[in-house]
Chain A
Amino acid sequence: QQPVQSPQAVILREGEDAVINCSSSKALYSVHWYRQKHGEAPVFLMILLKGGEQKGHDKISASFNEKKQQSSLYLTASQLSYSGTYFCGTEARVSGNTPLVFGKGTRLSVIA
């Protein structure tokens, strides 16, 4: 089942913060976050595993609430380079191999 991302799109000025949410109706084992710029391949940002952890590097961080089956991606003090479409990919891992299912994406535009 495809995770639901919100918002669908957001426009920020440089230096502003944003939160992108990803929620699933299924119990999750992991959540993967990717950023894709127009015409390019998705680029891996981070993975969060079951256990309710929080991760981050530079000014991009994420949290995973397994009880709520939700993950949030936090972008602070946004830069022009943050523009792109952000996808979450969720893995249920009920048994054996379970593939990643990606959301429809959140389009982020950072303007000067």
Chain B
Amino acid sequence: ELKVEQNPLFLSMQEGKNYTIYCNYSTTSDRLYWYRQDPGKSLESLFVLLSNGAVKQEGRLMASLDTKARLSTLHITAAVHDLSATYFCAVAYSGTYKYIFGTGTRLKVLA
């Protein structure tokens, strides 16, 4: 059974600092997705990573995928308050489009 774990679960950081969120998964997959969720809202797609070594960047966020290590990272550079949200990674079961979501990382950026 595919399991997806994120760490940390909670992250409180100062504006201007850098940090990384980790997403580990338990079985082979080469498709990984990052989503953002604001309180009471739906999921917003951030990144689609479809191959080993894929790296995507958008603003202060950069995501990467290492399928051999079964690990994805979401790196935050010079955090700002607007990045406060819950971030989920999701891994697709090999050969299917069933997404297994991680536990989520609740990020709070302090001014």
A pairs with B: no
Question: Which B residues lie at the A interface, using CB under 8 A?
Answer: none
Residues of A within 8 A of B (CB): none
